[in-house]
Amino acid sequence: DTEVTQTPKHLVMGMTNKKSLKCEQHMGHRAMYWYKQKAKKPPELMFVYSYEKLSINESVPSRFSPECPNSSLLNLHLHALQPEDSALYLCASSPSRSHTKDGYTFGSGTRLTVV
Amino acid sequence: SQQGEEDPQALSIQEGENATMNCSYKTSINNLQWYRQNSGRGLVHLILIRSNEREKHSGRLRVTLDTSKKSSSLLITASRAADTASYFCATDESSSNTGKLIFGQGTTLQVKP
């Protein structure tokens, strides 16, 4: 299995809702990442997990809460989002933080719309 | 912060022609990577070039790296309509082993059949 699977593919949520994005990989990768991408812009790093521990938080608002329950799974919990948070949310993985020589493997993303 | 600048922002060519896109960056790097993104989809890793390499090939792709100028180029030869996508360079900074990739602004390539 050489894929990163993200669910759901599309999500529409209200500003008072709580929802979660899920990311799963079975490649044995120990580093996992959340990126946010607005239309016609490059991906921007949000969080880095290394061996299930949060190692980088790029000053992301607390309405985004990441979680790594095990080495294969990464969640992003969403609460009280704003319309400007609407974007494509991408998950990626690599063998480790320092082992990126084969590049990241990205999921196909969750298209989030906040109404 | 995004350290990569790419040019051109958009490129339109005919099938069979070559496409060249350029990337500049600001800090010292471990490696530079190129990714392709089809509209609204995830990114696909194309090729990685290490800081001690100057040129690398993979199929129809050729990447060069000039660390003295902090720049890289991606050449796609004999382009196909299926190459239509956005292309991003991404740098892995050498100042720390954080795994943090910083993406350039991207080049949108359209290959006309």
pLDDT single digits (tens) B73-89:
999 999 999 999 999 99
**Residues B10-30: tens digit of each pLDDT:** 999 999 999 999 999 998 888
- Residue B101 near chain A (CB below 8 Å): yes
Share of chain A above pLDDT 90, in %: 90
What tokens were used for A8?
A: 């759901």
- Closest-CA distance, B80 to chain A, in angstroms, reads 22
- Residues on chain A touching B98 (C-beta within 8 angstroms): 48, 55-56, 97
**Residues A100-115: tens digit of each pLDDT:** 677 899 999 999 999 9
Average pLDDT over residues A27-47: 95
State the Cα–Cα distance between residues A106 and A97, nearest whole angstrom: 15
pLDDT of residue B2: 43
- Residues on chain B touching A6 (C-beta within 8 angstroms): 42
Binary contact (B99, A48; C-beta < 8 A)? yes
State the Cα–Cα distance between residues A21 and A113, nearest whole angstrom: 13
pLDDT tier, B93 (very low <50, low <70, confident <90, very high otherwise) = confident
Binary contact (B43, A104; C-beta < 8 A)? yes
Show the DSSP H helices in A1-115 as ranges.
Answer: none
**Residues B36-72: tens digit of each pLDDT:** 999 878 999 999 999 999 999 999 999 999 999 999 9
What separation in angstroms does the CA of A61 have from each of A31, A58, B59? 22, 9, 42
- Residues on chain B touching A33 (C-beta within 8 angstroms): 99
Residue among B41, B48, B102 whose CB faces A101 most closely:
B48
